[in-house]
Chain A
Amino acid sequence: MTNLSRRTVMQGLGVGAMATALAGLPVFAQDRTAIRIGYAISKTGANAAGAGITTTPNYLLWVDDVNKAGGIKLSKLGVTLPLEVTEYDDRSAAEETVRAIERLATQDNVDLILPTWGTGANLAAGPTFDRFGYPQLAATAVTDMAPQLAARWKHSFWMLGGGHDYANALVELLVKQRDAGTINNKVAIASVADGFGIDLSKAATPAFTEAGFELVYDKTYPLGTSDFAPIINEVSGLGADTFVAFSYPPDTFALTQQAVVADFSPKVFYLGVGTAFPIYPGIAGPNHNGVMGVGGIDPDSEAVAAYFERHIALNGQAPDSWASAITYASLEMLQQAIERVGDIDREAISAELSSGEFDTIIGKVKLVDNQLRSLWTVGQWQDGKFVGLAHTERDGSRDPVVPKPDWVPAT
């Protein structure tokens, strides 16, 4: 049996406290050679395709842009430092995301952590970002719970709106078309039985009904469905001028192909995630023209056009026309917030993100209760661009083309 004297214990505690205090000290300016950015992103697994289109290329572009410009100025420390990146693969598993964020915060001691791709993963990571006090710029999470989440996790910022924003905007747009006599009163909806599809159909079904539309078809299909012939065959006989699918990729592409093969060419053909992807025109060929979907960009914005060019030059692929620009804008906001604070003070940076106004590629941005409320909600492929038809705050950039051109059959 070992007896610990009070003195030994106190000494031990003292050394421990000293070590803790030293570890907690900020790194001194002269020791700093870079601002360390960390992120865990899905490089493998089910989310890899989405993350590889919307999130990772923007992180790479931002780091490249910042470092080419010399870095970020930290005025309080009197230095301008480049960005240095630590990257992990979360293998599309929420628990891996959480573990990687813990590791970034406690072992790698990075200065800032960028979020992973997708609604579910960002919700799962919220408590961890909050616990370590890192700002979470969720640019790829669509959730109607954003107001509550922002209140619960003070450092979280929700940049992509909720299901209601998109569903209501679509219904509003279609009401105008119906009242103008371009489409009939019948709507068919198919939605994927997973986060995004459930959220949007839950919001859209009552909105359509309230607006006086007749829902001739309103069903869900399971994630991973590859054959849409039964759905398209049934819907094509129901006489609806409007087909709405709250779908995920690759369903979005399969639905298009099936509709073309079955020659089901409704006046309004609206699809979910994936419609705004740069490969959509490649997959749909000439038939992409006139297809509507979630998201959109301002085709007249020079800043967005320049961003597209830089993105293609660095990544060899165009950004998507929905969350990509918002992801990049969230990073611009982060950079400006750091420069205004002049130091890596995460508390102050979060406060600045929350209250400041920022100049970004999507225009001047000021968050409302930690949420970006200035969003393109409905887009349509017109002349090779996925143009915004409806915006939460502005007028649409283009008028909708209804009816869309008839499908060109494959030869």
Chain B
Amino acid sequence: MLSSAILTGLVLGGTYALVAMGLTLQYGVARIMNLAYGDIVIAASFAAFVLFSALGINPLLGMLLILPLGFALNWLIYAILLQPLARRSRDRGRLEGDSILATFGLLFVIQGVALVIFGSGFQSYNFLAVPVNILGTIVAANRLLALVLAVAFAIGLFVLLTRTRFGTVIRAVAANPASAPLVGVNVDSVARFAFALGGALAAAGGVVISMYLTFSATMGVVFTMKALIVVIMGGVGNLMGALAAGLILGLVETLVSTYIDPGLTLAATYLIFLAVLVVRPQGLFGKATS
């Protein structure tokens, strides 16, 4: 029973972590508090849905197309909409305020386009909805895939960020965008790249969750909120933090649901969130700002 609850919780946490990773890059490196993040996720879900139901393309193959598209789209969004804001704001607070307003507008643009094309109804398709037996616990293969992808992305990007020169440049921008140019870092292009990479991760999340969640054009905000909690809990800009926080939330929700009451899952989530904020305001893996 306990092992089953833990496994189910990890699988759920995988979804949370996967959806949050892109936002932690966008917020941590590019310093854009992207309120349209969840709508990018949903846009990718729609893309996977169309590829699968109209053209019969397997969503896993579809990802090869949707991920670069997500990257390109977010690159453009940053270059056109957000770069001017980043250039003109001298301090982080100002950029946060401006980016919140700009991406709030973007949220409605993306949602509006999705509403016009797909209407407001629910969309769904079945892919990999097959049971997988792990040590006696049945989990859905598509949800397991979310966990595997989350772990793979987190480790892959962690290695990229800590073991390569380019990763060091990204971390330099995240740590101190004002001083990074002094050592020859092009902050604009690095932030743009990080934002686009975050968008590609959001797209990956969108494709995977579309395999098992019924979604609609107006559901993006749900993912933005969940991702935001995970990002702040894990430490802004920290991929391993997002992974850990996502898994912790999934575990807590499932354990509370199994052993106490499913009605208290939300309360437990926010209690943990609150506890982290009180004890470690910078997040589990975040560095204290001086």
Contact of B262 with A219 in the complex, beta carbons under 8 Å? yes
Q: Which residue of A lies closest to B222 (CB)?
A: A224
Known: A44-B115, A231-B257. A261 touches B140 (CB 8 A): yes
- Bitwise, A220-260 to B at CB < 8 A (1) or not (0) is 11101111011101100000000000000110011001101
Q: Could you say which residues of chain B place their CB within 8 Å of the CB of A224?
A: 222, 266
Q: Could you say which residues of chain B place their CB within 8 Å of the CB of A250?
A: 122, 213-216
Known: A44-B111, A249-B214, A253-B124. A260 touches B129 (CB 8 A): yes
Expressed in whole angstroms, the Cα–Cα distance for A234 and B12 within the complex equals: 16
Q: Which of B216-264 contact A (CB under 8 A)?
A: 216-218, 222, 250, 253-254, 257-258, 261-263
Q: Which of B142-199 contact A (CB under 8 A)?
A: 143
Q: Could you say which residues of chain A place their CB within 8 Å of the CB of B119?
A: 52, 317
Expressed in whole angstroms, the Cα–Cα distance for A253 and B122 within the complex equals: 10
Known: A257-B212, A262-B138. A44 touches B121 (CB 8 A): no
- Choose one: A52, A190, A262, A410; the contact of B262 (CB below 8 Å): A190
Q: Could you say which residues of chain A place their CB within 8 Å of the CB of B12?
A: 227, 229
Q: Which of A187-201 contact B (CB under 8 A)?
A: 190, 193
Q: Could you say which residues of chain A place their CB within 8 Å of the CB of B122?
A: 49, 249-250, 253, 274, 277, 279, 283
- Choose one: A46, A249, A410; the contact of B126 (CB below 8 Å): A410
Q: Is A409 an interface residue (CB 8 A)?
A: yes
Q: Is B42 an interface residue (CB 8 A)?
A: no
Q: Could you say which residues of chain B place their CB within 8 Å of the CB of A221?
A: 257, 262-263, 265
Expressed in whole angstroms, the Cα–Cα distance for A249 and B218 within the complex equals: 13
Task: Kindly provide the distance from the CB of B96 to the nearest chain A CB, expressed in whole angstroms.
Answer: 25
Q: Is B282 an interface residue (CB 8 A)?
A: no
Contact of A46 with B218 in the complex, beta carbons under 8 Å? yes
- Choose one: A92, A230, A254, A274; the contact of B8 (CB below 8 Å): A230
Task: Kindly provide the distance from the CB of A288 to the nearest chain B CB, expressed in whole angstroms.
Answer: 12
Q: Could you say which residues of chain A place their CB within 8 Å of the CB of B121?
A: 49, 52-53, 279, 317
Interface size class of A (residues with CB under 8 A): 35 or more
Expressed in whole angstroms, the Cα–Cα distance for A410 and B119 within the complex equals: 28
Q: Which of A40-71 contact B (CB under 8 A)?
A: 43-46, 48-49, 51-53
A-B contact pairs, 23 of them (CB 8 A): A44-B108, A44-B111, A44-B218, A48-B216, A49-B121, A49-B216, A49-B218, A53-B120, A220-B261, A221-B257, A221-B262, A225-B265, A229-B11, A229-B140, A230-B5, A230-B262, A231-B257, A250-B215, A250-B216, A277-B122, A285-B126, A410-B126, A410-B130
Q: Could you say which residues of chain A place their CB within 8 Å of the CB of B83?
A: none
Interface size on B, residues (CB 8 A): 41
Q: Is A148 an interface residue (CB 8 A)?
A: no
Expressed in whole angstroms, the Cα–Cα distance for A219 and B215 within the complex equals: 25
Q: Is B79 an interface residue (CB 8 A)?
A: no
Q: Is B105 an interface residue (CB 8 A)?
A: no
Task: Kindly provide the distance from the CB of A276 to the nearest chain B CB, expressed in whole angstroms.
Answer: 13
Contact of A229 with B115 in the complex, beta carbons under 8 Å? no
Known: A46-B218, A49-B120, A220-B263. A263 touches B131 (CB 8 A): yes
Q: Which of A115-133 contact B (CB under 8 A)?
A: none
Expressed in whole angstroms, the Cα–Cα distance for A279 and B122 within the complex equals: 8
Q: Is A20 an interface residue (CB 8 A)?
A: no
Known: A233-B8, A263-B131, A410-B129. A220 touches B262 (CB 8 A): yes
